[in-house]
Chain A
Amino acid sequence: MSSDVIASQFGPQLVQGSQRSDADGGPELVQLLTPEGERVEHGSFSFGEGMSPDEEAALVRGFYRDMVLTRRIDVEATALQRHGELGIWAQLLGQEAAQIGSGRALRPQDFVFPTYREHGVAWCRGLDPLQLIGLFRGVDQGSWDPHEHNFGLYTIVIGAQTLHATGYAMGVQRDGSVGTGDPDRDAAVVAYFGDGASSQGDVNEAFIFAASYNAPVVFLCQNNQWAISEPIERQSRIPLYQRALGFGFPGVRVDGNDVLATYAVTQAALQRAREGQGPTFVEAYTYRMGAHTTTDDPTRYRLSSDLENWKLKDPIQRVKVYLTRNGLVDQQFLEAVDAEAEELGERLRAGCRSMPDPHILDVFDAVYAEQTPELADQRSSYADYLDSFEDAAAAASTGALENAEGSR
């Protein structure tokens, strides 16, 4: 049988080329602000609807500030790792728009299930960046209260949190907090994950559960093109957003370096969820400009021209150009943001260095809601063991030990 006949039976051959990490996202990419800082229209999504020009400008200035500060958190934490203050840091450099745009589209009652790189979303949810830094310093495993910020703990196991988000959304349904029309009640849930995670079974199971129950969840995939060293074409032969259709819900690819488009698309997807129309897949098409983490060396597996190409699409620069060119900011505002970033950096450096280490005996205390007798015994035995050194040291320092030995 010729390949033509096979093609006619099974449809056209899929072209992998469109999935290469140096591609521009294709015609399906939703963009509202070009890399050159020009506002453009899109047939389905718009930014600023229902807002006065002043309100709109204030919102964009807020995005700019959020992104600058988020980048500063990232740069500062990376430097702290280099100085040996953090064990590791997962950089978000280049993904600021994807995170701030989606994070600012959330309402207080919405709930976020992040990976370990959602520092910008964490910022939007009101977490102190020092809480993120604590995790990477190794003093805790996430010290914030997920219920206080509606922001779950960072999840290291790739994709596991997408199921938690779906389950949480099933809970929202059961609480009757979907489709009531009350803007303060109806809630959506967001599962953040990456292109690499899209290959995980859990992510695919989350899609199936969410579709089956029509759960109010937004699957927000930051396709940053790289899963450590593996390019997107190793994960998928088709654009990721197109997978959603196979699961029975819509998918959309948005320019993840465009904070206006990411905001607009996420807001629409969240609203869909809150109204009870079910899950949406949002592929925020972006680029990991830094390394996977501070232990990674991207020069081993990707071309520097690739990075240079993406630097031209920097998410912060385009907003700055837009605001400046249209007279929506003055120099004073820009300087104030820079000064705020300096202050934040200083606070993070000092705060990180002065973070107290946990005590080894603390590890026993929160394994269970109801402590087990055997764990309580283990704790007290180890406390006695530690005390035995202190007793010996105290005895030595008072000379009691020598006296005791001398009296034998």
Chain B
Amino acid sequence: MTKMTLAKALNAGLRRAMEDDAKVLIMGEDVGKLGGVFRITDGLQKDFGEDRVIDSPLAESGIIGTAVGLAIRGYRPVCEIQFDGFVYPAYDQIVSQVAKLHFRSQGKVRMPMVIRIPFGGGIGAVEHHSESPEAQFAHTPGLKVVVCSNPIDGYWMIQQAIAADDPVIFLEPKRQYHADKAEIDEAADSSAVYPLFASRVVRAGNELTLLAYGPMVKVCLASAEAAAGEGRSIEVIDLRTLSPLDMGLVLDSVRRTGRAVVAHEAHVNLGIGAELAARITEECFYSLEAPVLRVGGFDTPYPPARVEEEWLPDLDRVLDAVDRSLAF
């Protein structure tokens, strides 16, 4: 057992994936000597060489486009996009090539690629460094989208994503990178760990279901704790996978509690929360005591850092939505 931050856990997970499979490559800007701007790939180039940990020219479409060719050649590229807001130059390659090649070739071409994206706000950065683009990718057939929220998941989910034969957008909550530590049992049997494309109840409750992922899991757990102080029992689900959505657990929970609130940093309009609200309404209509409520970023571009704490949904705004739902 080792105590690790999310950043260290991802690093350890990447290392283990590279040890397990010589076809695994890491590509991206500054991932080599520097170890990435967040140090997620720290030390990997030194140990695995420049051919397996590839410092790329500063061109995101080039990173993903060459990764497509490497995947066709039989490699398993793990691409780092330095920041969420820099993924757009690669958007065409991701949406038109990575996502579609398996379909177009009727399965003759596989795209076992992982695209890691540090996402979300709360680090006081300049613009384009704090965005939450998950809905854009979850909306694209052919991609799978997962989000880790804690060190243990970071360690296992990155390995599972690399082992998957489909392209996986792997979102990492950057404000959690160095926030908390957790004990990780690296010797655990990897086949016995919690599956990748599955949501998880992270706090049991029976009056309302709070749905969150990535950076909002911690906020929602704190909100549930605060609500408990007022005698309210809130269930919190860490979605973990956004495409596919793992609705079984969510629907079971909402059928028990009758109420659901979705929280994410991304703007609310046409976001993951909208999809969840639609599916919950379709499947649990007669169990619902209140409409599904959404808490998220406002429908504006990400704001200047000095107001981001107000822009981002926090404990109070989550509790406000919880109160509104309970009062309905």
Which residues of A are interface residues toward B (Cβ below 8 A)? 113, 140-143, 145-147, 152-153, 155, 157, 160, 162-175, 189, 201-202, 205-206, 208-209, 212, 365-370, 372-375
**B268 contacts partner chain A, Cβ-Cβ < 8 Å:** no
Q: Are B73 and A171 in contact (CB under 8 A)?
A: yes
Q: Are B75 and A369 in contact (CB under 8 A)?
A: no
Q: Are B65 and A202 in contact (CB under 8 A)?
A: yes
Q: DSSP class of B's interface residues: helix, strand, loop or mixed?
A: mixed
Q: Are A374 and B70 in contact (CB under 8 A)?
A: no
Q: DSSP class of A's interface residues: helix, strand, loop or mixed?
A: helix
Of A157, A170, A365, the contact of B66 (CB 8 Å cutoff): A170
| A to B CB contacts below 8 Å, 17 in the list | A113-B69, A146-B109, A157-B96, A160-B93, A162-B65, A163-B68, A163-B69, A168-B72, A168-B73, A170-B54, A202-B93, A208-B59, A366-B103, A366-B105, A369-B112, A372-B144, A374-B245
A168-B69, A367-B141, A367-B142 known, 8 other contacts, Cβ within 8 Å: A141-B104, A145-B105, A152-B72, A163-B68, A169-B69, A175-B73, A205-B65, A367-B102
**B247 contacts partner chain A, Cβ-Cβ < 8 Å:** yes
**How far apart are A19's CB and chain B's nearest CB, in angstroms?**
27
Which residues of B are interface residues toward A (Cβ below 8 A)? 25, 51, 54, 56-57, 59, 61-62, 64-75, 89, 92-93, 96-97, 101-110, 112, 141-142, 144, 164-166, 197, 243-245, 247
**How far apart are A249's CB and chain B's nearest CB, in angstroms?**
15
- Expressed in whole angstroms, the Cα–Cα distance for A175 and B109 within the complex equals 19
Known: A167-B66, A168-B72, A171-B70. A366 touches B166 (CB 8 A): no
- Can you list the 7 inter-chain pairs with the closest CB atoms, starting with the nearest? A167-B69, A163-B65, A171-B73, A167-B66, A168-B69, A205-B62, A369-B165
Residues of B within 8 A of A173 (CB): 51
User: Chain A CB within 10 Å — which of B57, B69, B101, B107 has the most?
Assistant: B69
Number of A-B contacts (CB under 8 A): 138
- Expressed in whole angstroms, the Cα–Cα distance for A152 and B68 within the complex equals 12
Q: Which residue of A lies closest to B64 (CB)?
A: A163
Q: Which residue of B lies closest to A152 (CB)?
A: B72
- Expressed in whole angstroms, the Cα–Cα distance for A158 and B76 within the complex equals 25
User: Chain A CB within 10 Å — which of B62, B75, B101 has the most?
Assistant: B62
Known: A146-B72, A367-B141, A367-B142. A209 touches B56 (CB 8 A): yes
Of B74, B105, B106, B142, the contact of A171 (CB 8 Å cutoff): B74
- Expressed in whole angstroms, the Cα–Cα distance for A11 and B287 within the complex equals 77
- Expressed in whole angstroms, the Cα–Cα distance for A206 and B56 within the complex equals 12
Known: A147-B108, A163-B69, A171-B73. A369 touches B102 (CB 8 A): yes
**How far apart are B51's CB and chain A's nearest CB, in angstroms?**
5
**How far apart are A185's CB and chain B's nearest CB, in angstroms?**
15
**How far apart are A159's CB and chain B's nearest CB, in angstroms?**
9
Q: Which residue of A lies closest to B71 (CB)?
A: A167
Residues of A within 8 A of B72 (CB): 146, 152, 164, 167-168, 171
Residues of A within 8 A of B141 (CB): 367
- Expressed in whole angstroms, the Cα–Cα distance for A162 and B59 within the complex equals 14
Q: Are B103 and A367 in contact (CB under 8 A)?
A: yes
**How far apart are B164's CB and chain A's nearest CB, in angstroms?**
7
Q: Are B92 and A157 in contact (CB under 8 A)?
A: yes
**How far apart are A201's CB and chain B's nearest CB, in angstroms?**
6
Q: Are B92 and A171 in contact (CB under 8 A)?
A: no
Q: Are A368 and B104 in contact (CB under 8 A)?
A: no
Known: A205-B57, A368-B144. A143 touches B70 (CB 8 A): no
